[in-house]
Structure 1
Amino acid sequence: MSNQVFPKRLYKYRAFNVGTLRLLSEAEAYYASPTAFNDPLDSSPTIQIDTDYQALEKLLYRMLSQSVGKEHAAREINNHRYMSTELGDYKVSSEAEAYYMRLLASNVKDLLYEEFGKRGVLSLAEKWNCPLMWSHYADEHRGLCVEYDLSETAFNDLRPVDYRRSRSIKVSDLIDWKLKQSSSAHQAVLETFFFTKAPQWRYERDPLCQDSCHSIKIGL
């Protein structure tokens, strides 16, 4: 849970359409898929390799085992080893080793995206009177802005967007989370995946309310 104090009211800029009418009439808040943002780089961090290939293999094996089973996991890693031979022996050649690690990291990234892609994100703004937000998210000023009163509502995963944090997830953090069950590493991965944004978008300053479901019922 974040210790940051948020405003008692947050806002959602919307175009006037059927979805918005349903939001108002049914008291719903839509949690969008991370793949549906207007910025394709949102919730799309890179993977930073900061371990040796043995540790990366163990990480991928654990993630694949949880996803498709141990037998398939072993076959997939053996396939990556075979593919890396295009450049030589990854145990001898630094070029082949680097290529092999990129193959492993790419597979890790796909599995992470698959896991987190099942979650939903609700993006809210701190102010209702931002002209750029009206232009970008409220049908070029023709829409509306919905106010959410949070004074009596608790969101455990409500956090501000971080425009300064690195948008790379470290392999070492994934290892600490997946292999060592570190809650702090898990939190670091979550925050990088869901709450970091390129600095060029700093003008928005949106808190993101992230949850594991695609929609949530709240009182308006």
Structure 2
Amino acid sequence: MDELILERTLMVYTLPPPNTILYKYYNYASALRFLREGLVRFSPLASFNDPFELNAYPGSNITQEALGNAVKTAIIDVIDKRESLQVANRISQYVMAYQQGMYQHYSPAEFAELLGEQVAAMQPVSAPPQAARTLHAEYARRIGAFCLTEKFDNLLMWAHYADQYKGMVIGFDPHKLGGEFACFAPVNYRDAFPSIEDVNEAADSYLGRPHAVPDSLDAFMLENVFVKGHDWRDEKEWRAVRFHECEPRADHETYDISKQLIQVPNEAVVSIHLGCRVTDDQRSMVCDLAYLFNSATEVYKSRVSHTRFELEFIPAIARWPSLPYDDHWEIINT
């Protein structure tokens, strides 16, 4: 694993507009632990519930004939420049052998023509090679993500991520998270996997040319980290991503979790929305911890709406209206 490639990959920073708040859904116990310690976990992508995480392989609309013609040109360029290749497949092995003095009864143009025709005649590969699957699995174990969302009131996310409304949603100001969150961007939702459409880029990557492999890997892996299937689009997810220095293991649970924890600046926490199944005693505990963490944090309680499929929120120190359809509330005297 080339760590330099990974480090270059994780250097994209995209912030939402000013005054935007991004939210994290927590169960009650995890939220209390965060408010006491101020640590968030960058979980390895391999531990996520979506089997497509970092598991999309680049497709292409490039025909085998076009790829074969581009490979011919690239091989001539490689031989002319005496360029070393990273072994990618049988074709690149032949090119390396030619550079070492074999097959010299062919001119460079004839040799390139022969190999290009072989590429053009190949059947398109329908499944990724084992080497690619191994590489992706290693990235998935070593890249961790802290996932946020633009929405604090998504009912499915409350049920799934906040312990069936018994947890809470903590709001973060992304502009105050700091340099530890150096790779930060929204998730792009799509139906198809990312693809390589430049035929010359595809040919260079196919041969394993040194200038092409890191660049294309950087770009594709980075895009892949921030891509999910279209069915997830309602989550409106943002991700902060980090590279874990720990040695990858077959089972992500064997990681030293402490190396995945990052301190969040207290001023970055701006709001807490409590689920409708949080008890009064639990609400009091959260209010106390929130004040100690950041006295400016706004805490809200919720209840099920009487008229719509949604939660209603008011400040935690407010009293709910006595009548079901009365939207008036007042601050409790304390």
* Same fold, TM-score > 0.5, yes or no: yes
More displaced stretch, 37-46 vs 118-127: 37-46
Alpha-carbon distance in structure 1 between the residues aligned to 2:33 and 2:209: 39
Corresponding position of 1:218 = 264
Corresponding position of 1:110 = 134
Does the Cα contact within 8 Å between 1:43 and 1:193 map onto a contact in 2?
yes
Alpha-carbon distance in structure 2 between the residues aligned to 1:173 and 1:42: 26
Corresponding position of 2:187 = 161
Corresponding position of 2:239 = 208
- 1:123 CA drift (Å): 0.6
Corresponding position of 1:140 = 164
Q: CA 1:173 to 1:43, structure 2 compared with 1: closer, same or farther past 3 Å?
A: farther
Amino acid at match of 1:11: Y
Which sections of structure 1, spanning at least 5 residues, go unmatched? 63-90
Matched positions, count: 190
What does residue range 69-80 of structure 1 map to in structure 2 within 5 Å?
none
Q: Secondary structure at the match of 1:210?
A: strand
Alpha-carbon distance in structure 2 between the residues aligned to 1:140 and 1:173: 50
Write the deviation string for residues 129-164 of structure 1: whole angstroms up to 9, x where unpaired: 222211121112111112223333343311001013
Alpha-carbon distance in structure 1 between the residues aligned to 2:172 and 2:23: 6
What does residue range 23-42 of structure 1 map to in structure 2 within 5 Å?
23-42=34-53
Write the deviation string for residues 94-118 of structure 1: whole angstroms up to 9, x where unpaired: 5xx448x668733223223313421
Q: CA 1:217 to 1:102, structure 2 compared with 1: closer, same or farther past 3 Å?
A: same
Alpha-carbon distance in structure 2 between the residues aligned to 1:179 and 1:34: 27
Q: CA 1:169 to 1:61, structure 2 compared with 1: closer, same or farther past 3 Å?
A: farther
Q: CA 1:212 to 1:37, structure 2 compared with 1: closer, same or farther past 3 Å?
A: same
For the pair 1:198 / 2:198, whether they are aligned, the reply is: no
Q: Secondary structure at the match of 2:228?
A: coil
Identical columns (%): 23
Write the deviation string for residues 172-198 of structure 1: whole angstroms up to 9, x where unpaired: 399399821687645521333211010
Alpha-carbon distance in structure 1 between the residues aligned to 2:87 and 2:57: 20
- 1:35 CA drift (Å): 1.2
Q: Secondary structure at the match of 1:48?
A: coil
Does the Cα contact within 8 Å between 2:21 and 2:172 map onto a contact in 1?
yes
Amino acid at match of 1:126: E
Does the Cα contact within 8 Å between 1:121 and 1:208 map onto a contact in 2?
yes
Q: CA 1:3 to 1:39, structure 2 compared with 1: closer, same or farther past 3 Å?
A: closer
Q: Secondary structure at the match of 1:127?
A: coil
Alpha-carbon distance in structure 1 between the residues aligned to 2:46 and 2:123: 29
Corresponding position of 1:124 = 148
Q: Secondary structure at the match of 2:175?
A: coil
Corresponding position of 2:21 = 9
Q: CA 1:144 to 1:114, structure 2 compared with 1: closer, same or farther past 3 Å?
A: same
For the pair 1:179 / 2:205, whether they are aligned, the reply is: no
Pairwise CA RMSD: 3.9
- 1:165 CA drift (Å): 7.3
Does the Cα contact within 8 Å between 2:31 and 2:167 map onto a contact in 1?
no
Q: Which has the higher contact order (CA 8 A, sep 6+)?
A: 1
- 1:208 CA drift (Å): 1.0
Corresponding position of 2:300 = none
Bigger radius of gyration = 2
Corresponding position of 1:189 = 220
Q: Secondary structure at the match of 1:120?
A: strand
Q: Secondary structure at the match of 1:46?
A: coil
Does the Cα contact within 8 Å between 2:187 and 2:226 map onto a contact in 1?
yes
Write the deviation string for residues 63-115 of structure 1: whole angstroms up to 9, x where unpaired: xxxxxxxxxxxxxxxxxxxxxxxxxxxx5995xx448x668733223223313
Q: CA 1:45 to 1:174, structure 2 compared with 1: closer, same or farther past 3 Å?
A: farther
- 1:199 CA drift (Å): 0.5
Does the Cα contact within 8 Å between 1:173 and 1:188 map onto a contact in 2?
no
